Amino acid sequence: MRLIRQLEDFSADLRAGAVAVGNFDGVHRGHARIIRRLVELARRHGGPAIAFTFDPPPAAVLRPDRAPPVLTTTERKAELLARLGVDAVVAFPTNAEFLQLSAREFFERILVGSLGAKAVVEGPNFFFGRQRLGNVELLADFCRQAGIELDVVEPLVLHGEIVSSSRIRNHLSQGRVAEAAVMLTEPYRVRGSVTHGAGRGASLGFPTANLAGAITLIPCEGIYAGRAYVDGRPLAAAISIGPNPTFNESARKLEVFLLDFDGDLYDRTIEVDFRARLRDVIRFHSVDQLLEQMNRDVRETRQIAAPDSPL
pLDDT in tens, 165-219: 999 999 999 999 999 999 999 999 999 999 987 667 777 888 999 999 999 999 9
pLDDT in tens, 75-85: 999 999 999 99
Residue 161 has pLDDT above 70, yes or no: yes
In whole angstroms, give the CA distance from residue 137 to residue 150. Answer: 10
**Three-class secondary structure of residue 232 per DSSP:** coil
pLDDT value at residue 310: 57
pLDDT value at residue 199: 66
Domains and CATH numbers, the chain: 2-158 (3.40.50.620), 187-305 (2.40.30.30)
Mean of pLDDT over the chain: 94
Q: Give the predicted TM-score (pTM) of the model.
A: 0.94
User: Of 189-193, 199-203, 285-289, 300-304, where does mean pLDDT reach its minimum?
Assistant: 199-203
One-letter identity of residue 297: D
Please choose, from the candidates 82, 84, 102, the residue with its C-alpha nearest in 3D space to the C-alpha of residue 30: 84
Pairing of strands 269-279, 222-230: antiparallel
Q: Once rounded to an integer, what is the mean pLDDT over residues 273-281? A: 97
- Please answer whether residues 93 and 55 qualify as being in contact, where contact means their C-beta atoms are separated by less than 8 angstroms: yes
Q: Once rounded to an integer, what is the mean pLDDT over residues 9-30? A: 96
The percent helix, strand, coil of the chain (3-state, each to 5) is: 35, 25, 40
> How far from each other are the two terminal CA atoms of the chain, in whole angstroms?
25
One-letter identity of residue 101: L
CA distances from 221 to 35, 149, 177, 277, 282 (A): 33, 47, 12, 10, 10
pLDDT value at residue 231: 87
Q: Rounded to 5 degrees, what are φ and ψ at 253?
A: -130, 160
DSSP state of 125: T
Q: Once rounded to an integer, what is the mean pLDDT over residues 132-153? A: 98
DSSP state of 134: B
Please choose, from the candidates 299, 295, 298, 300, the residue with its C-alpha nearest in 3D space to the C-alpha of residue 284: 295
In whole angstroms, give the CA distance from residue 252 to residue 80. Answer: 29
**249 pLDDT tier (thresholds 50, 70, 90):** confident
pLDDT value at residue 309: 64
pLDDT value at residue 143: 98
Q: Which spans in the chain are helix H?
A: 29-45, 58-62, 74-83, 103-106, 136-146, 165-173, 177-183, 200-203, 287-305
pLDDT value at residue 53: 98
